[in-house]
Amino acid sequence: TFVVGENCINCKHTDCVEVCPVDCFYEGPNFLVIHPDECIDCALCEPECPVNAIFSEDELPDDQQDFLEINAELAEKWPNITEMKDSPDDADEWDGVANKREKLVK
Ligand code: SF4
pLDDT at position 25: 99
The rounded distance, in Å, linking the Cα atoms of 106 and 104 is 6
Q: If you measure from the C-alpha of residue 58 to the centroid of ligand 1, how many angstroms do you get, rounded to a whole number?
A: 14
Cα–Cα distance list, 20 to 14, 17, 27, 47, 64 (Å): 11, 5, 14, 12, 22
For range 29-39, the mean pLDDT: 98
| CB 47 near ligand 1, within 6 Å | no
Enter the pTM of the model: 0.98
For range 73-78, the mean pLDDT: 98
CB 28, CB 78: distance < 8 Å: yes
pLDDT at position 47: 98
Q: If you measure from the C-alpha of residue 46 to the centroid of ligand 1, how many angstroms do you get, rounded to a whole number?
A: 8
CB 91, CB 14: distance < 8 Å: no
| CB 53 near ligand 1, within 6 Å | no
